[in-house]
Amino acid sequence: MDIADLLARLGVSLPDASTDDFAVRSPIDGSLLASVAPASWNQVEAALVRAGEAFRAWRVVPAPQRGDLVRRYGLALRAAKADLGELVTRETGKILQEGLGEVLEMIDICDFAAGLSRQIGGLTLPSERPGHRLMELWQPIGPVGVISAFNFPAAVWAWNAALAWVCGDPVVWKPSPRTPLTALACSALFQRVAAEGPEVPEGLLSVLVGGSALAETLADDPRLPVISATGSCAMGRALAPRIAARFGRAILELGGNNGAIVCPSAHLALVERAVLFAATGTAGQRCTTLRRLLVHEAVYADLVPRLRGLYARLPVGNPLDPHTLVGPLIDEAAFEAMQAALAEARAAGGRVCGGERVEVPDGKDGFYVRPALVEGLDQTALVHQETFAPILYVLRVGSLEEALRLHNAVPQGLASSLFTRDFAEAERFLGPAGSDCGIANVNLGPSGAEIGGAFGGEKDTGGGRESGSDAWKAYMRRMTCTLNASNELPLAQGIQFHLE
């Protein structure tokens, strides 16, 4: 399908290009998909004003009615799933199965949020004073700024937006300038849904296209009490102090350097399947991508040669081809970063299997690579870094204790996994002295989180939580209330304060 037809089906119409526009190129073949104008200062200011006005109206709409809007948006996403999934693939280079999966994540979080809209609640607590009731209430906090990354151009935004809307908050969204078309399509679908049902305030969603300067502008603006930002650790270090300087609330989803530990009792066929997807899916461009494999010496000789064989057979190619499992890297910069890391690994004595550029018919300007396995290195400074590409460092360990020490020694703390059939080892891994990550899995890889659980990590990963569980609380303000239904005024802590 022609990209113009695809965008038109999703309700996106773009003005004629100008010299200041962002050129959006497909990683599949380097072709120009479209040119998108960056938001002007006046457009940014207008969006923030609209969001503030929308908040004042939306916060008093009953939460179940807010949830109904999100429910209807989920229905629209179901109807547009094929087209939106294809657009994600064309713009990011992830295989079509993953593009469709991203839209399904959006649908799932809409379902979750619609149900949540009838469950948002506080606590009633026992008061020490007769005739008093002590309560905690949750109130809408205000417009939420969402800064999203190229690798998940829609799903992670939806984790934030669906919850923010049912909590009573409008959303101002700055997508990655590499993938603005998906954002514009998501917005067009939402605006259509908002116009078809009961009246909703204008300004519940604004999309602003721009680069780092726009992100800093949003981070600095007190009219956005919450900023949810997904990206690199460097991005988080740049934005977090700006948000903190105005006492804003930051939800940070930053880098990952995810590890998996393979114990002697592990089911190796299961390990192979889990590692293959976790380390090479999305061409290694997930925050939850498996980057370190810590293999017990008792099974190293059995497992690692089998992985080498699987890597050699991986179908790398056009992500719209249903037989492809690994599509292209996002751009030349990602390719160069991967090659630099592999060159450093070789110079340090590492043995590299794969990593070479792959020629793909009709994809000569795309950056396709064979995923790489690197053996023979200790956990060096290179291994401590996150290279956003399909590189898996394989480390030999002699015990679970050694594996945990190495696993937890990196700065990042997003996702982790353990492969074992030993119950005690699983309990050790999930216990307080086990994995130090926000996500810890047993007998599956670190990637592929479900929306029902809160998503996020510790340490340099930022500490934020999005999606399920009680992540909704980040989009609201807590109010502690005491109601006196008596004619007396006893003071807390038994204090006596009487004027004689």
Of 314, 258, 327, nearest to 287 (Cα)? Answer: 258
Question: For 129, which DSSP code?
Answer: S
Tens of pLDDT along 219-268?
A: 999 999 999 999 999 999 999 999 999 999 999 999 999 999 999 999 99
Confidence of residue 449 (pLDDT cuts 50, 70, 90): confident
287 in catalytic set: yes
Q: Rounded to whole angstroms, how far apart are CA atoms 369 and 389? A: 9
> Are the CB atoms for 106 and 158 separated by under 8 Å?
yes
Q: Rounded to whole angstroms, how far apart are CA atoms 406 and 140? A: 42
Tens of pLDDT along 381-440?
A: 999 999 999 999 999 999 999 999 999 999 999 999 999 999 999 999 999 999 999 999
Q: Rounded to whole angstroms, how far apart are CA atoms 313 and 235? A: 36
- What is the distance of C-alpha 89 from the center of its chain? 17
What is residue 1's predicted lDDT score, i.e. its pLDDT? 67
What is residue 110's predicted lDDT score, i.e. its pLDDT? 98
- What is the distance of C-alpha 61 from the center of its chain? 29
263 in catalytic set: no
Asked whether residue 17 carries a pLDDT value surpassing 80, the answer given is no
Question: Residues 91, 98, 253, 386: which is the catalytic one?
Answer: 253
One-letter amino acid at 204 equals L
Tens of pLDDT along 87-131?
A: 999 999 999 999 999 999 999 999 999 999 999 999 999 999 999
Return the bridge partners of 137, or none: 479
Question: Residues 110, 233, 287, 353: which is the catalytic one?
Answer: 287
Asked whether residue 19 carries a pLDDT value surpassing 80, the answer given is no
Tens of pLDDT along 263-312?
A: 999 999 999 999 999 999 999 999 999 999 999 999 999 999 999 999 99
Q: Rounded to whole angstroms, how far apart are CA atoms 392 and 384? A: 12
Q: Average model confidence (pLDDT) for the chain?
A: 97
CA distances from 297 to 185, 352, 389, 394, 402 (A): 50, 19, 26, 11, 11
